[in-house]
């Protein structure tokens, strides 16, 4: 059952990557990148259960946090054109 899940995740990864390569707009690419990150987390969890080591789930949590940071920074860059937007007032307070 876990093998079937892993195969399905691989197919989903392929689809997300096709979207990231073809994607006409930037938002398609950002969304595809985010979903690739999520699928990598799921693949990690499934591989953990396949090799009967469910403690891989902890590492999956860390991946989730990293994925959030990456997507947030990309979107912030796209919104403001600057990563350090409003950083001065934040550092003063």
Partner 1 sequence: MLLTLLAVVTIAIVRQRSLFGVVILASIYSFLMASVLIVLDAVDVAMTEASVGAGVSTVLLLATLHLVKTTEMKRVRPHLLPLFVSLGTGAVLVWGTLVLPPFGTPDAAIHKHVAPRYIADTIKDTNVPNVVTSVLADYRGYDTLGETTVIFTAGIGVMLLLRKARRRGRRDDAETSR
Please select the residue that binds partner 1; options are 8, 54, 57, 73, rule is CB under 8 A.
73
Taking CB under 8 A as the criterion, the residue among 5, 12, 29, 49 binding partner 1 is 29
Strands, E assignment, the chain: none
Q: Residue from 51, 57, 86, 87 that binds partner 1 (CB under 8 A)?
A: 51
Q: What is the rounded distance in angstroms from the CA atom of residue 6 to the CA atom of residue 34?
A: 19
Least separation in angstroms between CB 13 and partner 1:
6
Q: Cβ(61)–Cβ(45) under 8 Å?
A: no
Near partner 1 by CB under 8 A: residue from 8, 54, 77, 87: 77
Q: Is 1 in the site for partner 1 (CB under 8 A)?
A: no
Question: Does the protein bind partner 1 through residue 62 (CB under 8 A)?
Answer: yes
Query: Token digits for 61?
Result: 């949590």
Residue 78 DSSP class: H
SS (H, E, C) 18-32: HHHHHCCCHHHHHHH
- Regarding 2 and contact with partner 1 (CB under 8 A), the answer is no
CB of 41 to partner 1, least distance (A): 9
């Amino acid at each position: 059952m876990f093998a079937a899940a892993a195969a399905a995740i691989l197919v989903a990864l392929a689809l997300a990557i096709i979207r990231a390569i073809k994607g006409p707009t930037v938002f398609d690419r950002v969304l595809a990148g985010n979903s690739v990150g999520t699928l990598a987390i799921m693949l990690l969890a499934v591989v953990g259960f396949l090799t009967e080591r469910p403690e891989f789930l902890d590492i999956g949590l860390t991946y989730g946090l990293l994925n959030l940071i990456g997507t947030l920074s990309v979107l912030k860059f796209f919104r403001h054109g600057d990563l350090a937007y409003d950083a001065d007032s934040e550092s003063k307070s």
